[in-house]
Amino acid sequence: MSNLIFTNAHLIDPETGTDSIGWLQVSNGRIAARGDGDARAQGATIIDCGGKYLAPGIVDIGVKVCEPGERHKESYKSAGLAAAAGGVTTIVTRPDTSPATDTPESLEFVTRRAQADAPVNVVPMAALTKGREGREMTEIGFLQDAGAVAFTDCDHVIANTKVFSRALTYARSCGALVIAHPQDPGLSGGAAATSGKFAALRGLPAVSPMAERMGLDRDIALLEMTGAAYHADQVTTARALPALERAKANGLDITAGTSIHHLTLNELDVADYRTFFKVKPPLRSEDDRQAVIEAVRTGLIDTISSMHTPQDEESKRLPFEEAASGAVALETLLPAALRLYHAGQLDLPTLFCAMALNPAKRLGLDSGRLSVGAPADLVFFDPDVPFVLDRFSLKSKSQNTPFDGQRMQGKVTATYVAGQEVYRRP
């Protein structure tokens, strides 16, 4: 097996919150040793990092790969290549495929396709209710046996609280993590933007940011009732944060994530109805964005995901209200996150805590760390390389990125999964 030594690297260790110059040795797919200063070991391939950065590979909760159903938008092969190029070593796939991934058989299909085609780790999530329809729970136990790491109906909110509370109760008995989309479905119905001056000026149907807090409040009450393990997929508004903070202080088993788009873009970016900026929930105000960045800094928000959602040109080249939601982000997650680093708002250990360590821990995975014994899932990157993003250079089958034509800084040099190089920048 491979025996590699990375030397002269900034090691970003989210577990200790440190960023130090040193070396790291990989053998048999795991991190074998690491230390400060110069490495002494012989008989290994030496990779001189030239003072650039080595961090645990990104663990991305909530990636949509469109198999089965819409393979023309994204396949395991294209998503895997995109992930590798973006420094994402584990993609945690969403079950909002068509049909939904809601049976052990369909989950098995997903796992088989992923193993055959994707160069990175793929761990699947399964639907919490059959067909994501919010009526009957799925076979949570069987699905866990088949490899589901979490259960979610994605952006479908289970409106019936009786159904949801039973699913949470049952999931608790299996020790299963439930991931939900905190949003009041009534208030947010039909919305394409966040209410405010911008939506009023553009004449877009809008939702109050309060809908997110209401959804989160409801879910928190159900957690108090059921004691289940719960992760909110995207917390994007300032008003939802105090509720999350209280729930954590009260000892509930709750974590929360946010999306890279809500951290780096705001509602004004939609400008003249640019549909690549239509995501779900809609982009928020600048005040909300700043509050969410601060919540990531303090650890109140645990994870950052790409919420990678491929959409073809046809679904986006429509009037804003009719256009499909979502953006691809596997390859832009790290460069976009580095905007927050370059702006001095989040340091690198904090970013990799939210992008690697915390998501791995929440899902019970061993990765996301630079400690000896951890899987050698690594991203080697240069945070300073400037570039202008050309969406047609993306490896995803769909190129619906809001960052097209934007200046970004920071590129992945190489990505390693279990010590194997799966990507190297040409």
Partner 1 sequence: MRFAHRHLLGIEHLSQSDITAILDLAEKYVDLNRQSAKHSDVLSGLTQINMFFENSTRTQASFEIAGKRLGADVMNMAMQASSIKKGETLIDTAMTLNAMHPDLLVVRHPHSGAVDLLAQKVNCAVLNAGDGRHEHPTQALLDALTIRRAKGRLHRLNIAICGDVAHSRVARSNLILLGKMENRIRLIGPPTLVPSQFVDFGAEIYDDMNEGLKDVDVVMMLRLQKERMDGGFIPSEREYYHRYGLDAAKLALAKPDAIVMHPGPMNRGVEIDGTLADDINRSVIQEQVEMGVAVRMAAMELLARNQRDAA
- Chain residues in the site for partner 1 (CB under 8 A): 189-190, 195-197, 199-204, 272-273, 314, 317-322
The distance of closest approach from Cβ of residue 389 to partner 1 in the complex, given in angstroms and rounded to an integer, is 21
**Pairing mode of beta strands 407-417, 378-388:** antiparallel
Q: At what angle do helices 104-117 and 76-85 cross, to 10 degrees?
A: 60
Structure tokens at 32: 């074998």
What's the min distance (Å) between Cβ of 277 and partner 1? 12
Taking the complex as a whole, the smallest distance from the CB of residue 124 to partner 1 amounts, in Å, to 33
Q: What angle do CA 25, 31, 34 make, to 5 degrees?
A: 50
The H-or-E segment that residue 250 falls in is none
How far apart, in Å, are the Cα atoms of 365 and each of 91, 123, 242? 12, 10, 29
Of 183 and 255, nearer to partner 1 (C-beta) is 183
For residues 231 and 60, the answer to whether their CB atoms sit within 8 Å is no
Q: Contact at 8 Å (CB) between 306 and 88?
A: yes
Nearer to partner 1, 193 or 336 (CB): 193
Backbone dihedral angles phi then psi of residue 327, each to the nearest 5 degrees = -145, 150
Nearer to partner 1, 37 or 203 (CB): 203
**Residue among 184 and 331 whose Cβ is closer to partner 1:** 184
Minimum distance, C-beta of residue 11 to partner 1, in the bound complex (Å): 48
Q: Which is nearer to partner 1, 198 or 423 (CB)?
A: 198
What is the nearest approach in angstroms of partner 1 to the Cβ of residue 44?
56
**Minimum CB distance to partner 1 smaller for 186 or for 364:** 186
One-character DSSP codes across 206-233? EE-THHHHHHHHHHHHHHHHH--EEEES
Nearest distance, CB of residue 160 and partner 1, angstroms: 21
Distance of CA 60 to the CA centre of its chain: 4
CB of 87 to partner 1, least distance (A): 35
For residues 110 and 199, which CB has a smaller minimum distance to partner 1 in the complex? 199
Spacing of C-alpha 84 from chain mean position: 14
As to burial, measured by CB atoms within 10 angstroms (0-12 exposed, 13-18 middle, 19+ buried), residue 312 is middle
CB of 322: closest distance to partner 1 in angstroms?
6
Calpha distance 255→229 (Å, rounded): 8
Of 405 and 426, CB closest to partner 1: 405
